[in-house]
Amino acid sequence: LAPIYLRMQRFSDAVTAYRNAIRLDGDSAARQAGLGEAMASEAGGIVSADAQAAFEAALKLDPANPKASFYLAMGMAQEGRIEEATAGWQKMLADLPQDSPWRGAVERALAESARRSVASGVPAKGPNAGDVDAAASMSPQDREAMINTMVAGLDEKLRQNPRDVEGWMQLIRSYVVLGKADQARDALNRGIAVFGPDSDEAKKFTAFAVSIGLTATE
């Protein structure tokens, strides 16, 4: 039941369901990692202290659990601990089987964090189109939950620090790739509102949206 709630983006229900599953059916790495993922999703993509504790519990039960390792590194990046996040993702790459569906996501997370760190000193929280493609070979549940969590984190970051032109374009593109046209359009309109409808940034957003098949209004 918990994975279904997570897939439906009923994150609070997913948290409750995972906790009940752990209480009634016993602890497991998969359940703890799922609980952490649900908590992070409920928090808008932020890996909170409670989510971190769940991921750490998962790794105690299964040190090779990729979901827990990935999100713990993401949490470090969100806190500005870039070197530690990079080390975590690099260790994942060293340990993952060559055919693991997580390899592409980790490689792109490393590349994106490095690029963003050089450009602005701020770690990226949202996926680009490559991240979405990299997750294509994951299970539907893991793929959708991971991508939605990352996109939600980027959305929340832009609500707190909205004057990020590249961030708005990344968010718009992510929603389009996910097939969420209404949310992509909302992000486009919010980005335009931040800079003003007559600004150069607004013109850039509009042109970018048109290039990927999106308009500001239906």
In a domain, 218, yes or no: no
In a domain, 214, yes or no: no
Amino acid at 136: A
pTM, 2 dp: 0.56
In a domain, 187, yes or no: no
In a domain, 137, yes or no: yes
In a domain, 108, yes or no: yes
In a domain, 127, yes or no: yes
The single residue listed with the structure tokens 């009634």 is 24
* Mean pLDDT to the nearest integer, 190-211: 87
pLDDT at residue 205, as a whole number? 86
The CATH number of residue 10's host domain is 1.25.40.10
79, burial (CB in 10 Å: exposed 0-12, middle 13-18, buried 19+):
middle
What share of the chain has pLDDT > 70, as a percent?
A: 80
Q: Please, what sign has the CA dihedral across residues 48, 55, 50, 150?
A: positive
Residue 43's domain comprises: 2-161
In a domain, 44, yes or no: yes
Lowest-confidence segment of 30-44, 83-97, 140-154, 163-177 by average pLDDT: 140-154
Mean pLDDT over the full length of the chain: 81
Check: CB of residue 56 under 8 Å from CB of residue 72.
Answer: yes
Count of CB atoms within 10 A of residue 176's CB? 20
E-only strand ranges, the chain: none
- Looking at per-residue confidence, does 115 or 27 come out higher? 27
For residue 204, give the nearest of 190, 188, 217 by alpha carbon: 188
* Structural domains of the chain, count: 1
Q: What is the CA radius of gyration of the chain?
A: 18
In a domain, 96, yes or no: yes
pLDDT at residue 128, as a whole number? 47
* Mean pLDDT to the nearest integer, 108-127: 56
